[in-house]
Structure 1
Amino acid sequence: MDREERIKRRAYEIWEREGRPKGREQEHWDQAVQEIEAEGSESERGPVAPDPTEPDTNKPGG
């Protein structure tokens, strides 16, 4: 699937999630672009190791 198709699908998901509002197509498209680009840059970097200086909020007392 090409980049534009992924953005289109993501924008549609955002639109549905927000209750299908009218007149916000550009806002949803822009948000989808940001999300897709963020995902792309994450996959290019590979797995991200947790920052050892930050407390682990998933553990009790963390």
Structure 2
Amino acid sequence: METREERIKRRAYEIWEREGHPTGREQEHWDQAVQEIEGEGPQPERGPVVPDPTVSAGSKGSKD
């Protein structure tokens, strides 16, 4: 089963792709992903999730 953090990472990456791969907006994408995931309904894991500082949205699978 996918963890809450994994879902947020995936959603933040999708947002980053949808917006054309902008740089420097990782925190905005993360925050938006958290809001979207939490808005989808009750989740067993709630509370703040801090993004892994060693992984940025721009480095996941980028082909640029």
Aligned to 1:25: 26
* Structure 1 residue runs of 4 or more that deviate by more than 2 Å after TM superposition: none
Within the alignment, does 1:5 sit opposite 2:3 as a pair? no
**What does residue range 42-53 of structure 1 map to in structure 2 within 5 Å?**
none
Deviation for aligned residue 1:40:
2.5
Gapped runs of 5+ residues in structure 2? Answer: 44-64
Larger radius of gyration: 1
Q: Whose helix fraction is larger, Structure 1's or Structure 2's? A: 1
Cα distance in structure 2, aligned partners of 1:40 and 1:34: 11
What CA deviation, in whole Å up to 9, does each residue of 1:1-59 have, x standing for no partner? 00000000000000000000000000000000000000023x8xxxxxxxxxxxxxxxx
Root-mean-square deviation over aligned CA pairs: 1.3
Cα distance in structure 2, aligned partners of 1:40 and 1:25: 24
Aligned to 1:37: 38
